[in-house]
Structure 1
């Protein structure tokens, strides 16, 4: 069993700031680092490090070769990763403040260059017990969800970054829907997190809803009922990638099992 992540890859430009820049304001950053990112890459790395056979499909530009190398170093199969010589890799500009909170500006670049033909060729390499993982940082998400469902594949979808396209995706065909409390509220129309998760579960009865609640913990609504997991109390340094780690290790727990329940495993991993 494997997970194919048809996901985003970004070059992250991370700026440490004492506080976020306000509209019309110019400020100096305390430091800058350049690294690997994108929700797709982050989740593939988390899955592979958790012990799941993980393939990553998508595209990078010539400037993104080090992203592919990081995937391979982490144990991800990159046979389906294409280099587009005429485009730049997607990138993100990230501010991180003294409390470890972040705000992120994304440029899609090659993350918007996937074609339906290459996506379907990748899906044809999978078996019915395999999983296809999507995030909302690439093009053709809805179309490839439909193609995956036609092949009888299980689908995991992290509905971030949330925008108006998400509600039009075939969410009723998704096996695991990952949202945070803000995304859950926007998608359900309900501000209270637990009610929002329950509304999504009612709306998509074949879909398991996994909702992260920040410092409050997380929820998992499935055929087995509703589970709640408190968050770990840690000193936050940088929250970037914590949610992606949660997604990867949760899927490890439900797909391969673990001494810890899936929500607990995902919570501990994301806290670290």
Structure 2
């Protein structure tokens, strides 16, 4: 059983600030760092560090060698990553002293995926394999359609939520992994219980994992409901918290563990990640959690 993560590869330009910049304000950054990131890269590394057999597909520009190297160094199979002309994607991330962040994305090569490329990659996977998607690459709707026809199990993290996702057939999704903001954007509901109920009402065949930051996470599938509390830590940077949760949760599910075990492991891994600076480099290894 394999998991293909068809996702973004970005350089993250991280600026440390007293507070997130407001409209019309100019503020001096106390520190600037560059990391390899993108929701796709972060989630692939989280999966690999959690012990999953993960393949990454996506595009990098002429400057993308370090992105590929970081994936490979962390145990991700990069045979399907393609280099094209132009710039790789990047993100400008503001991190305030409380650890909260604000992110501006430039798609770059992530938004130049083609249908021929998708077809070539999916032809190498088969029924029962997993496909993980976010919304930082183009043609997500086509990816869902083609993967569904092949019988892949489709996991969607609808982030960032925009009009591109409104073209997608969410009835073909097996698992949704989303936070409160994305939950509101999909359902129009604000309370966690209402979001979960509305998601399951609209997409009754799916399972839903709703992450709630320091309030933990909730799970729903059919009549099943589970809650997971967060683990309290000193917050340094929340950038890769959700991606870490996603990777460790899915890795546990793929190993055949129960949902509650997967939620607990994911919550522990996410707590470690927010206690560290950066994105991919903040994600712990499975051995750290076992210790």
TM-score category, normalised to shorter length: over 0.9
1:112 Cα deviation (Å)?
0.4
Q: Distance in 2 between matches of 1:210 and 1:166?
A: 18
How many pairs are equivalent?
A: 271
1:167 Cα deviation (Å)?
3.3
Checking the alignment, whether the CA contact within 8 Å between 2:200 and 2:222 is kept in structure 1 is no
Q: Distance in 1 between matches of 2:164 and 2:61?
A: 25
Checking the alignment, whether the CA contact within 8 Å between 1:15 and 1:32 is kept in structure 2 is yes
Q: Which residue does 1:82 correspond to in 2?
A: 82
Q: Distance in 2 between matches of 1:231 and 1:43?
A: 19
Q: Which residue does 1:132 correspond to in 2?
A: 131
Q: Which residue does 1:193 correspond to in 2?
A: 192
1:174 Cα deviation (Å)?
0.7
Q: Distance in 1 between matches of 2:182 and 2:193?
A: 13
Q: Which residue does 1:101 correspond to in 2?
A: 100
1:123-161 Cα shifts (integer Å, max 9, x gaps)? 111121210111011000011100000001100110101
Structure 1 unaligned regions, length at least 5: none
1:6-40 Cα shifts (integer Å, max 9, x gaps)? 10010000000011111111111000000110000
1:179-229 Cα shifts (integer Å, max 9, x gaps)? 101110111011111111111111101111110011111011114601110
Q: Distance in 1 between matches of 2:166 and 2:60?
A: 27
Q: Which residue does 1:168 correspond to in 2?
A: 167
Map residues 1-272 of structure 1 onto 2, 5 A cutoff. Answer: 1-84=1-84, 86-223=85-222, 225-258=224-257, 261-272=261-272
1:258 Cα deviation (Å)?
4.9
Checking the alignment, whether the CA contact within 8 Å between 1:171 and 1:207 is kept in structure 2 is no
Checking the alignment, whether the CA contact within 8 Å between 2:48 and 2:74 is kept in structure 1 is yes
Checking the alignment, whether the CA contact within 8 Å between 1:157 and 1:178 is kept in structure 2 is yes
1:230-249 Cα shifts (integer Å, max 9, x gaps)? 11111100001110010001
Structure 2 unaligned regions, length at least 5: 273-291
| SS of equivalent residue, structure 1 residue 139 | coil
TM-score normalised by structure 1 residue count:
0.97
Structure-2 change in CA distance of 1:195 and 1:4 (3 Å): same
Q: Distance in 2 between matches of 1:181 and 1:168?
A: 21
1:257 Cα deviation (Å)?
3.6
Q: Distance in 2 between matches of 1:52 and 1:59?
A: 22
Checking the alignment, whether the CA contact within 8 Å between 1:185 and 1:193 is kept in structure 2 is no
Q: Distance in 2 between matches of 1:206 and 1:197?
A: 13
